[in-house]
Amino acid sequence: DTGVSQDPRHKITKRGQNVTFRCDPISEHNRLYWYRQTLGQGPEFLTYFQNEAQLEKSRLLSDRFSAERPKGSFSTLEIQRTEQGDSAMYLCASSPPDGTTTDTQYFGPGTRLTVL
């Protein structure tokens, strides 16, 4: 059983550059979430997809952030004009279709972003 995968695992970029991260959820999981985790804190919700539809966005998701899930499978998270405050671990999670465990989220290994 393949878990959630994320690519790249680490990204170092200079302030002002654009970056894009990819998440591949567990097969057949139709719900996909993005979270951000800063050092010493718990993950914070960014956005949620059900199939290809982006249904919820946190106020943390400024207009420099955009997420897509074009075919309801993998998802991308893009950050434009990166700032040093964007440095964090970006986590992706997925959960199964409607049923008794649809609320159970499985996380990927994360992408560690460092903005210089």
Question: CB–CB of 57/46 below 8 Å?
Answer: yes
Q: How far is the CB of 35 from other proteins (least distance, A)?
A: 8
Q: How far is the CB of 16 from other proteins (least distance, A)?
A: 27
Q: How far is the CB of 41 from other proteins (least distance, A)?
A: 6
Q: Which residues pair with 33 in a beta bridge?
A: 48, 93
Q: By rule CB under 8 A, what count of residues binds other proteins?
A: 28
Instruction: Sort 100 into a burial class: Cβ within 10 Å, 0-12 / 13-18 / 19+.
Output: exposed
Binding string, 17-56, against other proteins, x = CB under 8 A?
Answer: --------------x-x-x----xxxxxx--x-x----xx
Q: How far is the CB of 110 from other proteins (least distance, A)?
A: 5
Residues 6+ apart with CB under 8 A from 42: none
Residue numbers 79-108 binding other proteins by CB under 8 A: 91, 95, 102-108
Q: Footprint of other proteins on this chain (CB under 8 A)?
A: 4, 6, 31, 33, 35, 40-45, 48, 50, 55-56, 58, 91, 95, 102-110, 112
